[in-house]
Structure 1
Amino acid sequence: MKELTRSYIANEIDGTLIGEDKVINGIFNFLNAANEGDVVIRHWINETGVDIAKEKGVSCIITQNPKGKSIARGKELEVPIIITEKIELANAFAIKWAINKFANESIRVVITGTNGKSTTAHMIYHILKEAGYSTYTNTDSKSEFNTLIDPMVAKQIAEFEEQIEAMVLEVSEVQGWLDDIMRDHAYFMTSAIDPDVVVITNVALDHIGLVNSIEETFEETSGAVKALKEDGHIVLNFDDPFVRKMKEFTSSQNILFFGKNADIAINDNGISYKGKTLIKKEDLPFKSKHFIQNIMAAIGVTISLNINHETIKNAVSSYKPLERRFTIINDNPCVIDDFAHNPDGITKTIENAALIGGGNFFVVSAIRGSRGDIINQVNAEAIAEGLQNIPYKLIITSSNDVVDNLNVVTGSEKKVFINALENKGIKYIFYERLYDALENVLSISNKKDTILLIGAQGMDPANKLLKKILASNKNNNI
């Protein structure tokens, strides 16, 4: 591996080094976690940040936006600063360097697409662990590390307690900062990871404002396939015409499709591989259509990696889902919690949840705060579509009692959400507080009913609040 110096980094990320060139002995890190010799990557830096970097003894700072007198402060304190026009280049380089230094011989998998990335990645991780590999993944229940727009993944790879033998990395299909899209994000990050397998889950409309059409989403997502090496493996969703088309973007002959009548398919018996049943239906951890798609994608990846079929079967059968992925958090009534946060995911989740139980069907949805009017309009329209021909009771909330300042629902977001529902003839009850919304739905439901909780950050605290309400109701009934 080439010696890591400040000038080498600057050259690799199209940056300009301000300060002395020296060899770097640390890792890529955040400012607040940095140790002596580390390289700090920050989208912006000011004089205070430079002071902290000096105090911590960092080797240099990489930034896209040096604010105020930060450059002059860096010169004064002899803290080198590398300025790049694209901070994503710095994070891509950091990941590439960390993999080459700490996990060069590892098997690597990239998962991208609009929906199902986290469940698919987590299931692949589970299968590889079952197969005996020391495995790293950036997927967690809240999907905090899958954007790759900060040095978290590079840091975690460097600090992993074991020798990494396999790596499962979720890559955001579309990424941006504020209202500016980071063009070719999936391409840059996949190129940096240099995976053995790439899997594309689907292409649907999300990240509105960064991209404004399904065609733009397709173009960004397909970057992961374009970045794959010639002898790499690709696992594609045959049921999605946009994903199916991505076959045209690679010269690789190692392609597996999952979906209806594909290499990996679902039928009355279960999931089959090339016509032979691999996992019986009764052994599947999920029964809903979109989660079965995730299972098939994970199976496709691990078959591509030549994992023993019996190991795959055992791992899938024993799989426990991530939090907030169609998770049942209460039995009577049945309360299902799901992270559904974009139109395609919302509609499919409602349709699947409505099939559960024989009582009334309730939906409690959190409006997406500080994400813009357009995404909230199309999310509300997706709720309306999912509720077509289904007897329902809908409760919506701004969750203003639990969200932080980055997720506050604005007046215009609330207005467009409600207007979209009313324009579709959807009846609803609105609560500002998530606690009140949950308390109400529990008070008007009975043990045979089904309650679906959907939404992103605004619904994250629901499980904890629900337990609090149920405990309070139990105490009051004594």
Structure 2
Amino acid sequence: MAKLAEWLSDISFDTLQGNPAGSVVEEVVFDSRKAAPKTVFVCMKGANVDSHKYIPDVISKGCTAIVVEENLSETGIDETALNKDITIVKVENSREALAKLSAARFGHPSEELTVIAITGTKGKTTTAHMIHQILESAGKKAGCIGTTGVEYCGKHIPTKNTTPESYDLQHYFRDMVDEGCSYVVMEASSQAFKLHRVDAITFDFGIFTNIEPDHIGPNEHADFEEYKFFKSCIFKQSKTGIVNLDADYAAEFIENAPCKIYTYSLEKPADFTADGIKPINDHEFVGVEFQVQGHTDLSVRLDMPGKYNVSNAMAAISCLTLAGIEKTSMLHALSRIKVDGRTEVAFKNKDMSVLVDYAHNEMAMENLLVTLREYAPKRLVVLFGCGGNRAKDRRYGMGKAAAKYADLSILTADNSRFEETEDIINDIKSTLVPAGGKYVEIPDRREAIEYAMTHAEPGDMIAVIGKGHEDYQEVKGVRTHFLDREVIAETAVKFNL
């Protein structure tokens, strides 16, 4: 237990009633259903709900303290009816307050960890998992937080957001420290900076991979300038910054960074450079070899295809070289790297390679297919659908990319949600067919995967895309278990491939 004043020590506030120095608290909540004695309830204004309206409810549940963003008179609450024993404080930004209160509630656990954060439009997940696997190869206990969930010490916890809410982050950090972790690597989304989820955290290393127009629209970012601004915030709370010099706006990010910056590149002089990039495709390996020069010298064999994965590996190598991780651990981990649903080789024999990737829009699909073309497959086959109840432009774009870069498209279900799979496929066909794309239409995704693998020709590359690490299919509001990697493995056994 602690006094509320102790938890508020890093926060500017005005006391509207009560006494923070005398209020004993032991938990922070922002869900009114969890309010109870000795809790401090943080009111927040969300996109759909303003939780100030729940103040009478949390008071009735015996909440000890409340943090608000506005005067009580502005909430419509009858101040004369309030229990005067309850402490109420007003702050300028409740989300910032939640982050700082949460850090205090869990004893500032990030200060006991080496924190590595990654931001960028693409590459966050792959880079995070590369760093995590290298650290574990080096014998370091490390946690990983991002799109695919939270992982540490054999635990896996699914998450809804790329970067969880600030309270959850601090809770995970505390558990990691208690389990003996000394490192955590995390994806830091632009929304995480905008919504103050990563406030109260100092990053030992902050990595910027790239930026492209994305996440612009209602409940995301107003425009590209805002998106770019929040991406750049990573360096405001980093001790050391690392920048992909090949990325658009890299010079601007470097110029405005208040911390020491190191750079990596596949194309330009930098602190860490990759040269001699060579795609490798044999009966056991689909990946790439390259040399690293600059602040370290390495001959790397990367068990993932494509130049963009070389760039992700360079981010990992740059960071962990600066962190003092030995070369052998980096080389060992990268030669065996596996990132769920990110250019993941799920099956390979003498006739075919089957990869799983999360590419679910035109840009990502084009990047993937162009990369796979570098491996000179006899045929490049792409199996995909599109999510239902989402912008139709994504379907049209993916249809165009498939027609341009694939020899054969197998059109199937993704998460159709409340649309009909056949309607989504027809939308894809509306751009694929006029562009001359060849296709097969198999709405059942399992049957589509079985068709792709049993009809493969020697030398084929089959890209199963759109779902990546997702382990479900969502239809009519119901989620059923479905993981592309598992179905591919089951197909290989079923048909003795």
Residue segments in structure 2 that go unaligned for 5+ positions in a row: 71-92, 151-158, 278-289, 474-481
Question: Percent identical across equivalent pairs?
Answer: 20
Give the structure 1 partner of residue 265 of structure 2: 258
Q: Aligned letter for 1:445?
A: A
The code of the aligned residue for 1:218 comes to K
Q: Distance in 1 between matches of 2:348 and 2:237?
A: 44
Classify 1:412/1:435 alpha carbon distance in 2 versus 1 (closer, same or farther; 3 Å): closer
Counterpart of 2:276 (choices 268, 272, 276) is 268
The question of 1:294 aligning with 2:312 is answered yes
159, 162, 165: which is aligned to 1:146? Answer: 162
Which of the numbers 184, 191, 194 marks the counterpart of 1:184?
194
Task: State how 1:221-236 maps to structure 2 within 5 Å.
Answer: 221-225=231-235, 227-229=236-238, 232-236=239-243
| Structure 1: segments with no counterpart, 5+ residues | 26-37, 176-182
> What whole-Å deviation, never above 9, does each CA across 1:203-224 have from its counterpart, x for those lacking one?
1233243347654432331121
Greater length-normalized contact order (CA 8 Å, ≥ 6 residues apart): 1
The one-letter amino acid paired with 2:169 is V
Instruction: Give yes or no for contact 1:17–1:82 (8 Å, CA) kept in 2.
Output: no
Question: Aligned pair in 2 of structure 1 residues 371, 221: CA closer, same or farther (>3 Å)?
Answer: farther
1:328 aligns with 2:308: no
Is residue 2:471 matched to residue 1:454? no
Deviations 1:26-46 (A, max 9, x none): xxxxxxxxxxxx32334xx5x
Distance in 2 separating the partners of 1:93 and 1:256: 31
Residue 379 of structure 1: how far off its partner (Å): 4.6
Cα displacement (A) at 1:297: 0.4
Cα contact 2:380–2:406 (8 A) shared by 1: yes
User: Where does 1:343-362 land on structure 2 (aligned, <5 Å)?
Assistant: 343-356=362-375, 358-362=377-381
SS at match of 2:249: helix
Residues 1:463 and 2:485 aligned together: yes
Q: Secondary structure at the match of 1:452?
A: strand
Distance in 2 (alpha carbons) for counterparts of 1:109 and 1:378 = 34
Deviation at 1:255, TM superposition (A): 2.4
Distance 1:81 1:110, change over 3 A: same
Q: Secondary structure at the match of 2:342?
A: coil
Q: Which one has a bigger Cα radius of gyration? A: 2
Q: Determine if contact 1:120/1:295 at 8 Å carries over to the other structure.
A: yes
Displacement of 1:240: 1.1
Letter in 2 for 1:5: L
Note the C-alpha offset of 1:393.
Answer: 0.7
Conserved 8 A contact 2:162-2:187: yes
Q: Which residue of 2 aligns with 1:114?
A: 121
* Alpha-carbon displacement from aligned partner over 1:263-300 (angstroms, at most 9, x marks no partner): 21221272323186x2214x333341111101100111
Q: What amino acid is the match of 1:340?
A: A
Distance 1:101 1:92, change over 3 A: closer
Conservation of the 8 A alpha-carbon contact between 2:165 and 2:197: no
Comparing both structures, which one devotes a greater share of its residues to strand? 2
Secondary structure class of the residue paired with 2:487: helix
1:202 matched to 2:210: yes
1:60 shift after superposition: 3.9
Return the alpha-carbon distance in structure 2 between the equivalents of residues 58 and 419 of structure 1: 59
**Any conservation in 2 of the 1:131–1:311 contact (CA below 8 Å)?**
yes
Which letter does structure 2 place at the counterpart of 1:330? F
In the aligned structure 1, how far is the partner of 2:247 from the partner of 2:484? Answer: 32
Judge conservation of contact 2:344–2:357 (CA < 8 Å) in 1. Answer: yes
> Given the two structures, how large is their TM-score scaled by the length of structure 1?
0.75
Structure 1 position 331, deviation (Å): 1.6
Which residue in 1 is equivalent to 2:186?
169
Q: Indicate the residue corresponding to 2:456 in structure 1.
A: 445
CA contact (8 A) 1:6 1:17 kept: no
- Partners of 2:227 and 2:53 lie apart in 1 by 38
Instruction: Indicate conservation of the 8 Å contact 1:103/1:164, yes or no.
Output: no
Q: Give the direction of change, closer, same or farther, for the CA distance of 1:414–1:215 in structure 2 (3 Å limit).
A: farther
Correspondence for 1:436 = 447
The range that moved more, 191-200 or 294-303, is 191-200
